[in-house]
């Protein structure tokens, strides 16, 4: 059992020789949390088959390419999510390398992992999201080579400081937003590229699950192809502005929203200090920073709504 993404991938590449496919598989917030790796490999790899599955779909509609030349990366904080446990089991039975990211190294999920990575508490550079990204970077670098490898690790060296400053910076704005919109029944989220997963996570976990507020994560690139017609002065939006290649998509949506929406919150990674990371790789860090920002917004909203983030109607209370 190797300690860290680099040595995990090095062992796998050594044992297997060729790697042909990489699957990122989890549920809900953990599914979103694996997207940084998927987005990176999809963008940068010339050879690898890459996909991102919600675990139960992976279990039931297992792709035929899964086999001995595959790597399957699963994630569950508790290590108990049954669909994800099953997915890692399927991966192992197919002869794939099973890499598990979990806080519980003795959990059922960990038992279906050939390699288990435990995120470091309080560290962004060694969070589950970061492990997903680092695993992807290592897979690429150790198979095809990756020219921006050093810049990427330089980014990991900087990200914790950026996050620390950003969460302090954003808190007053989040508080104001929470006071203004605490009674809203629906809040749309929006993002693109590597940050779309954060818009998704904010929508389904923090708003829908933890606050019982209706939501949907709109991809900035899709906004003008349907969703924008619901824009009006009454409908709240929170827009995650990425740095990097897809920023023009966010900007275009934002320019429109500024004209036709009023209940608008912008969370811009540029303003949050992401640009100390090298331009060549900065976009891959958008979600690692934004995921902390959304927690600040969710926390403030929960306080204003007097609805703790831990309250559930169904989860932990009944069988389903």
Q: Which of residues 21-40 bind its own copies (CB under 8 A)?
A: 27-29, 31
Positions in 273-302 near its own copies (CB under 8 A): 283
| Residue 151 binding its own copies, by CB under 8 A | no
Q: CA–CA separation, 178 vs 183, rounded Å?
A: 9
Residue 216: CB minimum distance to its own copies, A: 3
> What does DSSP assign to residue 161?
H
Report the nearest approach of its own copies to the CB of residue 314 (Å).
Answer: 6
Our finding on whether 258 is near its own copies (CB under 8 A) is: no
Residue 56 touches its own copies, criterion: CB under 8 A: yes
Sheet holding 115-117, edge to edge: 49-54, 21-26, 70-75, 97-101, 115-117
Neighbouring C-alpha atoms within 13 Å toward the C-beta of 216: 9
Positions in 71-100 near its own copies (CB under 8 A): 81, 83
Is 8 or 291 the residue whose CB approaches its own copies more closely? 291
Would you say 212 and 306 are in contact if contact means Cβ atoms under 8 Å apart? no
Task: CB nearer to its own copies: give 210 or 301.
Answer: 210
C-alpha closest to that of 91 among 105, 76, 70, 118: 70
Task: Using alpha carbons, select from 180, 96, 86, 184 the residue that is nearest to residue 139.
Answer: 96
Q: Give kind and range of the element (H or E) at residue 239.
A: strand 237-241
Residue 8 or 50: the one with the smaller Cβ distance to its own copies is: 50
The secondary structure element, H or E, covering residue 211 is helix 210-211
| Closest distance to its own copies from the beta carbon of 303 (Å) | 19
Nearer to its own copies, 131 or 146 (CB): 146
- Residue 261 backbone phi and psi in degrees, to 5: -115, 155
Rounded to an integer, what distance in angstroms lies between the CA atom of residue 90 and that of residue 53?
13
Q: Which of 12, 99, 135, 249 binds its own copies (CB under 8 A)?
A: 249
Question: Exactly one of 51, 89, 151, 303 binds its own copies (CB under 8 A); which one?
Answer: 51
With binding defined as CB under 8 A, does residue 187 bind its own copies? no
- Distance between CA atoms of 281 and 302, rounded to whole angstroms? 34
44 binds its own copies (CB under 8 A): yes
- Min dist CB 260 to its own copies, Å, is 7
User: E strand or H helix at 216, and its extent?
Assistant: strand 214-219
64 binds its own copies (CB under 8 A): yes
Residue 45 interacts with its own copies (CB under 8 A)? yes
Tokens 């996050």 locate to 163
Q: Closer to its own copies by CB, 244 or 287: give it.
A: 244
Closest approach of Cβ 168 to its own copies, in Å?
28
Task: Quote the tokens at residue 24.
Answer: 């990122």
- Find the shortest distance in angstroms from Cβ 214 to its own copies: 6
Q: Is the dihedral of CA 60, 61, 65, 71 positive or negative?
A: negative
Give the range of 123-131, 164-172, 229-237, 264-272 binding its own copies by CB under 8 A: 229-237
Q: Are 140 and 148 in contact (CB under 8 A)?
A: no
**Which residue is associated with the tokens 């508790």?**
78
Encoded one letter per residue, x for contact with its own copies by CB under 8 A and - for no contact, window 110-149 reads ----------------------------------------
Please pick, from the candidates 6, 148, 256, 304, the single residue that binds its own copies as defined by CB under 8 A: 256
Q: Interface residues for its own copies in 192-221 (CB under 8 A)?
A: 192-193, 203-205, 208-210, 212-219, 221
């Amino acid at each position: 059992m190797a300690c860290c993404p680099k040595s995990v991938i090095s062992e796998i590449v050594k044992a297997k020789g060729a790697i042909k496919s990489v699957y990122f598989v989890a549920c809900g917030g953990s599914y979103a949390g694996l997207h940084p790796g998927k987005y990176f490999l999809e963008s940068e790899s010339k050879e690898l088959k890459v996909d991102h599955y919600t675990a139960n779909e992976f279990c039931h509609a297992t792709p035929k390419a899964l086999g001995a030349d595959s790597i399957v990366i699963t994630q569950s904080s508790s290590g108990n999510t049954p669909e994800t446990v099953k997915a890692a089991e399927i991966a192992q039975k197919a002869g794939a390398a099973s890499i598990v990211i979990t806080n519980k190294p003795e959990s059922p999920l960990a038992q279906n992992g050939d390699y288990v990575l435990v995120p470091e508490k309080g560290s962004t550079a060694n969070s589950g999201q970061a492990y997903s990204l680092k695993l992807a970077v290592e897979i690429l670098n150790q198979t095809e080579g990756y020219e921006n490898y050093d810049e990427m690790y330089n980014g990991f060296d900087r990200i914790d400081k950026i996050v620390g400053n950003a969460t302090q910076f954003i808190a007053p704005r989040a508080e104001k937003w929470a006071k203004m919109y605490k009674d809203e029944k629906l809040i749309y989220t929006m993002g693109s590229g590597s940050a779309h997963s954060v818009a998704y996570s904010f929508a389904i976990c923090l708003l829908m699950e933890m606050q019982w507020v209706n939501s949907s994560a709109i991809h900035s690139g899709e906004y003008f192809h349907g969703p924008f017609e619901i824009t009006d002065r009454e409908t709240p939006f929170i827009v995650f502005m990425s740095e990097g290649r897809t920023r023009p998509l966010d900007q275009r949506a934002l320019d429109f929203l500024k004209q036709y929406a009023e209940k608008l919150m912008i969370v811009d990674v540029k303003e949050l200090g992401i640009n100390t990371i090298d331009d060549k790789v900065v976009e891959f860090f958008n979600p690692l920073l934004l995921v902390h920002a959304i927690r600040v917004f969710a926390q403030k909203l929960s306080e204003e709504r007097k609805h703790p983030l831990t309250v559930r109607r169904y989860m932990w209370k009944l069988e389903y």
